[in-house]
Chains A and B, each alone.
Chain A
Amino acid sequence: MSKRKYLAGPYLVWSAAFIIMPLLMVVYYGCTTENGSFSLENLLALGDPIHYKAFGMSLTIALASTLICLVIAYPLAYILSKYARQSAGLVVMLFILPMWINFLLRILALQMILSNTGVINAVLGFFGISAKRMMYTKGAILVGMVYDYIPFMILPIYNALVKIDPDVVEAAYDLGAGTALVFRKIIIPLSMPGVISGIIMVFIPSVSEFVVADILGGSKILLFGNVIEQEFNVTSNWHLGSGLSVVLMIFIFLSMAVMNRTGTEEGDRVLW
C-alpha cells in the first residue's frame, strides 16, 4: 500500500506545482485589492454591465455550440454503435484525427476557408454565386467551436451506446415495444451518462473560450474569456482578472454539480 503511494509522487508534485498553487494564487489575487487587503469587489465586479453582458454572450455561445455538437454527435454515435467494431473504429478515428493537430492551427486553417477570398467563396464563385461574408461573424465563432469540440461529444456518447447490452434491447422488442419506444425508453436513458459527459466536456471549455472569438470573430465580440484575458495582458489588473476567473470557476463547478446529479439520477455513473 505505502509503496504504491510513492508511485503517485510525481503526479502529486506536478499537481501541487501546476494545479493547486496556481489555483490558490488565483483565489488570493481574486480576493484582494492592489494594496493587499481582503475584498470581494473583484468577484462582485460581475455586476458590472460590461462583465455580465460578456458573461451572457459566453453562455449563449457555449450553449449553442454544445447543442449543435449534441445534434450532430448523437445520431452519428448511434449509427456507429450499430456497426461492427472494426469499421466503426475507422470512422471514430477520422473524428479524432483532427485532434492530433494543434487547435490554433486548425482555427487558422478555418480562417483560410471562411474568409471573403477563402476556399468556400472560391467554390461558390466557380458556380457563379456571389461571395458570402462568413469570417468575423458569430457564425464563424460557432463553426470554430463546434469543429474544435465535437470529438469530445462523439466519444463519450459512442462509448455509452456500445456498452448497452444488446440483450436488453432484444428483450424490449420481445415484449412488444416498437423501435421508437425502445429508443425512447432504453437507448436514450442508458446513453445518458455519455451525453452528460459530452455536454460537460464541450460546454466547459466553450464557456471560457476567447481565442476563437479573437481569430474567427475579429475581436468584435467580447466574451467573458476576453475580459479576463484583457485584465491580465493589457490592463495588468491581475486582481480583477483573477476575481472574474473565480466567478467563472464557481459557475462551472455549480453547473457540473447540477449535471452530475441529473446524470446519476438517469443512469449509472458519469463516464469522466
Chain B
Amino acid sequence: MSKLWNMTPPGPVRKHGRKGLLAAALCLALSGLTLGCMKSGSGNASSEKLTVFNYGDYVDRATIKMFEKETGIKVNYEEYVTPEDMYTKYKSGVINYDLICSTEYMVEKLVREDELEKIDYSQMENMDNLDPVYMDFCSEFDPGHQYAVPYFFGTVGILYNTEMVDEEINSWGILWEEKYKNQIIMENSIRDAFLVPLKWKGYSLNTENEKELREAQRLLMDQKHLVEAYLVDETRDAMIAGDAALAVTYSGDATEAMDSNDNLDYVVPDEGSNIWFDCWFIPKTCRHKEEAQKFIDFMNREDIAAMNFDYIYYGTPNKAVYDSLDQETREDRTIFPDQDVLDKCEVFSYLGKEMDTLYNRMWKELKSY
C-alpha cells in the first residue's frame, strides 16, 4: 500500500506490479545464490567483475552477454524491486556495487548525501546519441550531467477507455467533468495527485507558492465527489477490467494495461505533466570505475539501446534509436509525447521539509474533506 510520493517513484516498479514481486522474489533468491558463490569461490576473480544493480527485468539480457563478449569484462548483474530496496541494500554496504540504475529523485538524494562519483565522459564514444532535449531535463536534477546518464523516461498522463470516453482528451480538465462522475481514478500519491490541477492551471509542479497550491487543493476537493477511488498499484487492473473510464497513471502502467485491453488509450494532456527518468550512476563503492563507464557507454550504443528499447518499450532518450524507428512507433504518444507537450513537462524536484509538511497537511485535508 505505498503512497509515498517521495519514496515510490513512478519507475518501472509500477510496470511490473505484482508479477514484479514474484520476479523479485526469484531474483532475491538468485542473488542470494550468487552472493554465496562469490563468498566461496572468487576473491581474485572479482577484480574483473563489474557489479551492476538495476530494476527487475529492466534490460535485455542479450546486451549484457554482448558486453561481456566484446570487452572481456564479467558482469555480475543484480536486480531490485523498489528504489528503497536498492537504497537500503546499497547503504548496508554488503556488496560493492559498481554501477546502479534508478529513478532521478534517488540520484538527487544520493548526490545530496555525497554518495556518487563524477562520471568521466572523455572515453565515451556514444554520448552524442543522447537527445539534448532529454539531457536538458536531466540538468534539472543533475546540473552539468556530472553524475547521471539517462536510460529510459516516462510520463504521468490519463489512461482512458475509448468505449466510455468518445471525445478527444487534450486537457486535464476532463477529470472535472460531471458526466464522468464515479468513473475517475486519481493517483493516490501526494505529488502525483497535485500535479494534475497544478499543470491544468498552468502552474509549475514544483511551485512553492502557497496560493497556487491552495488553489490546486481546492480543485482536488471540488473533484473529490467525481472520483471513484484514489489508487496506485490497483489502477492498472481496474482499468483493464473496465471499472473506470479515466485514470491518472504512469506511462509504463499504461503501456502494460493497453496490452491487455484494446479499448484503452493513453494521453499526456496539452498542459504538460511530469516526466521521470531512470538513470545510470556510479556510487562511491565503485571499484571498477573505468569498466562502469564502459558499460554506460555500451548501453548508449545505437544497436544496444535499440535492443533494450524493443525489450522494455519505455521512452528512450537515445536519438539515434529514435531516428531509426518506424513512423508509427515514433508517433506513439504513449511513449513519446509531442514536442510541444514535452516542452511543458517537468521533472519533480525535492522541495524541502517545509513544503513536505504543507503538502502532507493539504493531503490530509483533501482526504478528510
Contact = CB atoms under 8 A, between A and B. Distances in A.
Interface of A: 50, 53-54, 57, 115-117, 133, 135-136, 211, 214-215, 217-222, 226-227, 230, 233-235, 237
Contact of B365 (A50, A214, A217, A235): A50
Interface residues of B, number: 28
Given A133-B182, A233-B4, A222 B230 contact: no
Interface stretch (B91-99, B166-174, B237-245, B286-294): B237-245
Main SS at interface, chain B? mixed
Interface in B317-369: 356-357, 360, 363-365, 367-368
Main SS at interface, chain A? loop
A235 B4 CA distance: 8
B188 interface: yes
B229 interface: yes
B227 A50 contact: no
Contacts of A57: 368
Contact of A219 (B231, B243, B356, B357): B231
A53 B367 CA distance: 11
Q: Which of A54, A220, A230 has the most CB of B within 10 A?
A: A220
13 contacts: A116-B241, A116-B243, A117-B241, A136-B228, A217-B229, A218-B228, A218-B230, A218-B231, A219-B3, A220-B227, A221-B367, A222-B367, A237-B360
Given A136-B228, A219-B230, A235-B356, A214 B4 contact: no
B190 interface: yes
A136 B182 CA distance: 9
Nearest to B356: A235
Contact of B368 (A211, A222, A233): A222
A115 B243 contact: yes
Interface string B1-41: 11111000000000000000000000000000000000000
Nearest to A56: B368
Contacts of B188: 219
Interface of B: 1-5, 182, 188, 190, 224, 227-231, 234, 238, 241-244, 356-357, 360, 363-365, 367-368
A214 B234 CA distance: 11
A68 to B, nearest CB: 23
A234 B191 CA distance: 12
Contacts of A221: 367
B230 A50 contact: no
Contact of B360 (A53, A215, A218, A230): A230
Given A218-B231, A220-B229, A227-B364, A234 B3 contact: yes
B238 A235 contact: no
Q: Which of A54, A211, A230 has the most CB of B within 10 A?
A: A230
Contacts of A219: 3, 188, 229-231, 367
Contacts of A215: 1, 234
Contact of B1 (A133, A136, A211, A220): A211
A53 B230 contact: no
B276 to A, nearest CB: 19
B238 A115 contact: yes
Given A220-B227, A220-B230, A235 B241 contact: no
A193 B96 CA distance: 61
Nearest to A221: B367
Contacts of B364: 50, 222, 227, 230
A219 B364 CA distance: 11
Contacts of A117: 241-243
Contact of A235 (B227, B234, B243, B357): B357
Q: Which of B244, B360, B365, B367 has the most CB of A within 10 A?
A: B367
A208 to B, nearest CB: 15
Contacts of A54: 368
Nearest to A104: B1
A50 B1 CA distance: 22
Nearest to B182: A133
Contacts of A235: 356-357, 360
A226 B363 CA distance: 12
Query: What are the 4 A-B residue pairs with the smallest beta carbon separation, nearest first?
Result: A218-B229, A222-B367, A219-B230, A222-B368
Nearest to A227: B364
A214 B182 contact: no
A225 to B, nearest CB: 12
Contacts of B224: 220
B360 to A, nearest CB: 4
A220 B231 CA distance: 10
Contacts of B227: 218, 220
Nearest to A231: B360
B229 A136 contact: yes
Contacts of A214: 1
A234 B368 contact: no
A111 to B, nearest CB: 8
A137 B73 CA distance: 57
Contact of B229 (A135, A226, A227): A135
Contacts of A217: 229
Nearest to B365: A50
Contact of B241 (A50, A115, A218, A230): A115
A234 B188 CA distance: 12
A4 B286 CA distance: 57
A76 to B, nearest CB: 33
A4 to B, nearest CB: 43
Contacts of B230: 218-220
